[in-house]
Amino acid sequence: MSEQIELHSGDAILEELRFRAYRIIEERRVTVFLPAPDEPQTKEIVTPWGGLLTATYGDYLISEVDAPDDRWPIAREIFEETYEITRPGFCVKRASVQLVPLVELTDGDEDRMVIVHTLEGVEAARAGDFFLAKGVRGEIWCYPKEKVLTKMKPVE
């Protein structure tokens, strides 16, 4: 079995990858994590793809419309810079997302595991099942391949 690869947002290897701009083509559900002062100010969230991320007070919790219980956190500053509320409880991402198949990093090895250090936590991803996403501030995260194929389109 191949050794896993670890990625951080500042790693030089990211400059060598051939990222391509994509845009999300569907609306998403959104809530804001605002616990009361006497409640825990962080929340551990297991993502639909098995990552464990931490939401902190004021973060936005996003889900696909057809899967409202499968949520992931987005830092308030990032959300406000890249998303737009379309109506109460719904949003759309304005910014494009830079994506590259993780297999580009593993020389085509779909089974190799890649550990990605995101703003909200650490995710482990099988290269053949995910793309690597890079955001407006250089932040990185795993993006399910199935979602890229069904919910996104390349920016021309």
Could you give the number of structural domains in the chain?
A: 1
Average pLDDT (31-45) is 97
E strand or H helix at 132: strand 130-134
141 contact partners, CB below 8 Å, separation of at least 6: 116, 118, 119, 123, 132, 133, 135
Interatomic CA distance for residues 41 and 27, integer angstroms:
28
The overall pTM is greater than 0.85: no
Which tokens belong to 98? 């830079």
Using the Cα atoms of residue 136, residue 79, residue 72 and residue 145 in order, give the sign of their dihedral: negative
Average pLDDT (3-17) is 95
Of residues 129 and 119, the one with the higher pLDDT is 129
Range of the domain at 65: 5-154
Q: What is the pLDDT of residues 85-126, one digit of tens each?
A: 999 999 999 989 999 999 999 999 999 999 999 988 999 999
**Residue 59 backbone zone (phi > 0: left; psi -120 to 50: alpha; other: beta):** beta
Q: What is the pLDDT of residues 46-93, one digit of tens each?
A: 987 778 899 999 999 999 999 888 899 999 999 999 999 999 999 999
pLDDT at residue 156 in the model? 81
With a cut of 70, say whether residue 1 has pLDDT above it: no
